[in-house]
């Protein structure tokens, strides 16, 4: 829509594709055997070793950060560079064992904006 | 045609002269695939293994021609510097691979190899340290010639006699 009255002003629209540097994932690790829970450093080690198995040394060198980690629920927020999202997500999906214990990663939410992870419409309770 | 392949021409460089005897397709194929598995993991290994073979080997000059899919040649080329030794009969010989040329067909790689060998022979002649070597190299250079299909002329020094 043209701003009224000023013929000289032009309308401009900017579209940014894939402009976000990082992608954020909220994940939960499931360890059904009910043994000792890994701490934050061990959790990061699990993520990096999953990347190393599927994508080698190049994958293990991907800049992945664990922003938050809750040991009680084994859920965490990971941050990864946008070009590495596919590698990280595929590595988490295909991880089957942690120290000979069966495990699985569930990816709950993902977004290029961290703020978007604060609300989850799937767990919304309507009263 | 959707089946595109890339042919990677490299040479095996080693300080140990015994390394030449284990330049054979099985040992080299295993070494390259092991390097891809280390650098690019299970996904990279599986990707590059489709249509992966050692197409040509020359143990005298250490020339190797590898073939892979066009979609995964970058994974292969980036893993080649990580080959550090060749193994044969439970013995390891340290070496490294120099990538010379990447081509789309065997013919382009062959053309490049002929040209490359010509310049290498001239360099060898320049770097000869004593008169005897010089005579030897000059004699084999002058005796290079194109022959008919039946007989191949030339000895070890000549690699571009076929065209």
Report the chain A residue with the minimal C-alpha distance to residue B47.
A55
Measure the CA–CA gap between A108 and B34, rounded to whole angstroms.
Answer: 35
Q: What is the phi-psi region of residue B154: left when phi exceeds 0, alpha when psi lies from -120 to 50, beta otherwise?
A: left
Task: Give the HSE-up count for residue B94: Cα atoms under 13 Å, Cβ half-sphere.
Answer: 1
Cβ contact A59–B38 (<8 Å) = no
Question: Which residues in chain A are closer than 8 Å to B41, comparing Cβ atoms?
Answer: 51-56, 58-59
Decide: helix, strand or coil at residue A50: helix
Q: CB of B44 within 8 Å of any CB in chain A? A: yes
Closest chain B C-alpha to A56 CA, distance in angstroms = 4
pLDDT at position B127: 81
pLDDT at position A8: 64
Closest chain B C-alpha to A54 CA, distance in angstroms = 5
Return the bridge partners of B145, or none: none
Decide: helix, strand or coil at residue A58: helix
Cβ contact A53–B44 (<8 Å) = no
pLDDT along chain B (163 residues), means of 10: 92 90 90 96 95 93 94 95 92 94 95 93 82 81 67 41 36
Q: Which of residues 7-26 of A touch B (CB under 8 A)?
A: none
pLDDT at position B146: 63
* DSSP letter for each residue of chain B: ----EEEEEEEEE-S-GGGGGG-SHHHHHHHHHHHHHHHHHHHHHHHHHTT-EEEEEETTTTEEEEEEEGGGHHHHHHHGGG--EEEETTEEEE-EEEEEEEESSHHHHHHHHHHHHHHHHHHHHHT--SHHHHHHHHHHHHT-----SS-----TT------
pLDDT at position B40: 97
Cβ contact B37–A56 (<8 Å) = yes
Cβ contact A58–B39 (<8 Å) = yes
Return the bridge partners of A105, or none: A29
Q: From residue B79, give the alpha-carbon distance in Å to each of A10, B7, B69, B99.
A: 52, 15, 15, 11
Residues contacting B16, CB < 8 A, separation 6+: B93, B94, B95
How many residue pairs from chains A and B have C-beta atoms closer than 8 A?
Answer: 29
Cβ contact B41–A90 (<8 Å) = no
pLDDT at position B162: 38
Measure the CA–CA gap between B142 and A1, rounded to whole angstroms.
Answer: 81
Residues contacting A122, CB < 8 A, separation 6+: none
Q: CB of B77 within 8 Å of any CB in chain A? A: no
The ipTM assigned to this model is: 0.81
pLDDT at position B139: 82
pLDDT at position B151: 44
The pTM of the full predicted model, rounded to 2 decimals, is: 0.82
pLDDT at position B157: 42
Measure the CA–CA gap between B40 and B30, rounded to whole angstroms.
Answer: 15
Task: Enter the tokens of residue B139.
Answer: 């004699």
Interface test with B, best of A53, A56, A92 (most B CBs within 10 A): A56
> Mind listing the pLDDT tens digit for each residue in A82-113?
999 999 999 999 999 989 999 999 999 999 99
Largest pairwise CA distance in chain B: 54
The runs of H, that is alpha helices, within chain A are 40-60, 85-93
Does A79 or B155 have the greater pLDDT score? A79
| pLDDT band, very low/low/confident/very high, at A63 (cuts 50, 70, 90) | very high
Task: Enter the tokens of residue B119.
Answer: 């310049």
Does A62 or B21 have the greater pLDDT score? A62
Q: CB of B81 within 8 Å of any CB in chain A? A: no
């Amino acid at each position: 829509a043209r701003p009224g009255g000023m013929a000289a002003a032009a309308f401009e629209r900017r579209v940014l594709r894939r402009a976000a540097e990082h992608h954020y994932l909220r994940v939960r690790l499931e360890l059904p055997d009910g043994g000792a829970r890994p701490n934050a450093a061990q959790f990061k080690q699990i993520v990096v070793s999953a990347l190393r198995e599927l994508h080698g040394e190049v994958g293990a060198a991907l800049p992945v950060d664990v922003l938050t980690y809750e040991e009680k629920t084994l859920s965490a927020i990971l941050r990864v560079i946008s070009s590495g999202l596919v590698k990280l997500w595929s590595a988490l999906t295909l991880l089957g064992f942690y120290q000979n214990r069966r495990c699985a990663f569930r990816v709950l939410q993902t977004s290029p904006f961290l703020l978007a992870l604060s609300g989850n419409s799937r767990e919304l309770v309507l009263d | 045609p959707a089946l595109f392949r890339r042919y990677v021409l490299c040479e095996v460089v080693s300080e140990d002269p015994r390394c030449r005897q284990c330049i054979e397709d099985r040992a080299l194929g295993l070494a390259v695939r092991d390097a891809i598995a280390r650098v690019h993991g299970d996904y990279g290994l599986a990707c590059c293994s489709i249509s992966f073979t050692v197409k040509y080997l020359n143990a005298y000059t250490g020339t190797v021609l590898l073939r892979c899919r066009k979609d995964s040649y970058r994974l292969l080329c980036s893993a080649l510097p990580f080959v550090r030794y060749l193994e044969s009969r439970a013995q390891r010989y340290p070496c490294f691979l120099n990538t010379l040329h990447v081509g789309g067909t065997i013919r382009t790689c062959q053309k490049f190899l002929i040209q490359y060998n010509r310049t290498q022979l001239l360099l060898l002649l320049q770097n000869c340290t004593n008169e005897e070597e010089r005579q030897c190299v000059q004699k084999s250079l002058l005796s290079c010639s194109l022959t008919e299909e039946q007989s191949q002329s030339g000895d070890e020094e000549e690699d571009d006699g076929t065209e």
